[in-house]
Amino acid sequence: MMLDRVFKAEGNEGGSLVQPLDMMTLLRTLFPLPRSLTGDGVRATLQALRQHISVEIHEVATGTEVFDWEVPREWNIRAATIKAKDGRVLVDFADNNLHVVGYSVPVRGTFSLMELAAHVHTLPDQPDAIPYRTSYYAPNWGFCLPHSLWTAMQDEAYEVEIDSALVDGSLTYGEFFIPGDTEQEILISVHVCHPSLANDNLSGIVVATALARYFLAQPARRFGLRLLFLPATIGAITWLATNEARLDRIVHGLVLTCAGDDGPFHYKKTVNGAVVDLAAEHVLRHSGHAYQMLEFSPYGYDERQYGSPGIALPVGCLMRAIHGTFPEYHTSLDNCDFVTPQALDQSFRLLVDLLVTLQRNAIYCRVDGRGEPQLGRRGLYRAIAGQKEAGGASQMDLLWVLNQCDGSRSLLDIAERAGVPFSRIRAAADLCLDAELIREVRQ
């Protein structure tokens, strides 16, 4: 049902939503790339996206001042191993890029078991999982390995090598923009700085890419759609600092993450409250999926950068599993098997519905608001009867629109008050527009 609404809202005649992108295949392609805050893994990820959308790749030089921060040195890694003295390779970055602490400085030498212990991270409660660790801003090196392997390592010393480079270079991020009819924009931001983690980062990347493909094929809408693929925190801060003059164009925004697990949806509200919060709750309620609304807090993903006091953009966060609360979080268990095609598809469809709602929401007032207009004379009863079969607006929806369009309430407000999906109130408003009973109030 939801898809029918989406398609009608978009003026499509088709009955089913053609997948614009095989999200699971893209996710598997991106999975092994050694992403980090900076470096060739991020570049390779953005290049892979360019097979599907023409993402613009930006490079911002190390040392560039961005608000209170500085763009860090660029990190790249070629190889890393822990070997036993007899040459057996026990830990190899080539097997899993979570094995090395992100931003590890280069190291090569023989280390005693005790010395190595200070640089080893494991998860005793999840003995077969590899943890994900970084040390972006404190120079250090380290390995992450299954606790079961670590406890089995009883030799006196091991050969350690991390062949990495931490040098002046740049921070890389991707940007993709679909223009709208106005200068105003909807922002979607996803992080691209996690290595082989499927739900936490890759699911957001592939769903955002699928959304771009989908809306590229649709007629232009009121708002442009801007997608950002950037490293968490420093990437968002860099983008905000280098785009400060244009930030007032952003009227709605979403951080998208953890969109691929089978759990319920979670929507975290914007810092100061915004229409996107109302729209997100509306589409979630009518989606039939389990969901929970969360209040804003200054933790989590980049919603806290977009919602910082000197920026205060209306950017919420849509996720399924919540960071830090699911056992697979930041471990090797957050792999391609943890993400399901069905969950990605549900997230994609929900976001299409949400974006269409934001695009098509508007405020109208009655042209002549004195009393109820005569519907029969304008052919509206006939129009409603035609819509009924297609699941469109009902007579009641029409009455809600004609009663509530006073120039102060949006169609979304009216849909909420009437307790019906936005698309039906939108369809009723379209009939009223055709009959010249309402006119838009531009804000």
Chain contacts with Zn ion (rule: CB under 5 A)? 200
Cα–Cα distance for residue pair 3/391, rounded to 1 Å: 11
243: how many CB neighbours lie within 10 A of its CB?
14
Q: CA 30 → CA 209, 227, 252, distances in Å?
A: 12, 18, 28
- Identify which of residues 301 and 400 has a Cβ nearer to Zn ion in the complex: 301
- Identify which of residues 143 and 326 has a Cβ nearer to Zn ion in the complex: 326
What minimum distance in Å lies between the beta carbon of 402 and Zn ion?
Answer: 48
What minimum distance in Å lies between the beta carbon of 118 and Zn ion?
Answer: 24
- Identify which of residues 74 and 200 has a Cβ nearer to Zn ion in the complex: 200
* DSSP string for 179-196: --SSS-EEEEEEE---SS
Decide: helix, strand or coil at residue 373: coil
Cα–Cα distance for residue pair 24/223, rounded to 1 Å: 29
- Identify which of residues 200 and 416 has a Cβ nearer to Zn ion in the complex: 200
Phi-psi region of 419 (alpha: psi -120 to 50; beta: other; left: phi over 0): left
Cα–Cα distance for residue pair 38/60, rounded to 1 Å: 10
- Identify which of residues 52 and 191 has a Cβ nearer to Zn ion in the complex: 191
What minimum distance in Å lies between the beta carbon of 162 and Zn ion?
Answer: 22
Cα–Cα distance for residue pair 284/350, rounded to 1 Å: 7
Cα–Cα distance for residue pair 28/167, rounded to 1 Å: 30
What minimum distance in Å lies between the beta carbon of 127 and Zn ion?
Answer: 22
What minimum distance in Å lies between the beta carbon of 258 and Zn ion?
Answer: 9
Contact 10, 218 (CB under 8 A): yes
- Identify which of residues 204 and 373 has a Cβ nearer to Zn ion in the complex: 204
What minimum distance in Å lies between the beta carbon of 323 and Zn ion?
Answer: 6
- Identify which of residues 131 and 180 has a Cβ nearer to Zn ion in the complex: 131
**For the stretch 214-234, what's the b/e string if a residue is b when 16 or more beta carbons lie within 10 angstroms of its beta carbon?**
bbeebeebebbbbbbbbbbbb
Residue with nearest beta carbon to Zn ion: 200
What minimum distance in Å lies between the beta carbon of 298 and Zn ion?
Answer: 16
